[in-house]
Amino acid sequence: MAQPSHKKYFPTPVRLDLMICYLWTCGRDDVPQGVFSHDTAFSLFPYSVWLPTEKHITVPRNFRRRGAPPEPTRLYKRDSDNLDVTMLEGVTVTKPVRTIVDLLASGFVQRHHLRDFMRVALETGFVTRVDMIGAHLDAQERKLFVDLLDTISYERIEDIRIGASIPASA
């Protein structure tokens, strides 16, 4: 009789270093609460050539853990209702628009990398108009994002400037 494949039950992640940090964020229910963000999320996106020097992970504001995160990790706290997330490489990451805004605000990645990424992401459909309009951004974050779009001459910038007030189906 053939032995069952362990890969079926325990898939091997592409980035084991991320899985260790991701599992460190597990709550009492053994569900990871962390979301990879900033330049870690950026490094996982297609068309990104960024290689971060540390892992950036966002956890809920009420997240508590006795031990320190695996090194090198930078921890952020934010209410999860203000995060747009998706799954990549077997872990939860912030969606591209949220990631770009976080990077613009933090300055971890040079703007020309973000401009190049946005140009390609828009051309290929990795980031869509609906993604940009539907992103959960406050006024300051939206301004940062619109300013970046302006530098790449995005044609429908006014739609993004006024944001969620436009129906996504328009």
Where are the chain's structural domains? Answer: 14-165
Give the per-residue pLDDT at 74.
94
Asked whether the beta carbons of 77 and 63 are under 8 A apart, the reply is yes
- pLDDT tens, residue by residue, 112-124: 999 999 999 999 9
Task: Tell me whether strands 73-77 and 55-59 are parallel, antiparallel or unpaired.
Answer: parallel
Tokens representing residue 27 in the block: 């709550």
Give the per-residue pLDDT at 82.
61
The number of angstroms, rounded, from the C-alpha of 122 to the middle of its chain's C-alpha atoms is 16
Residue type, 126: F
Give the per-residue pLDDT at 89.
84
* H runs (alpha helix) in the chain: 6-9, 16-24, 38-44, 96-106, 111-124, 129-134, 139-151, 157-162
pLDDT above 70 for 163 = no
Which strands form 55-59's sheet, in the order they lie side by side? 73-77, 55-59, 35-36, 91-94, 85-88
Mean pLDDT of 32-57: 92
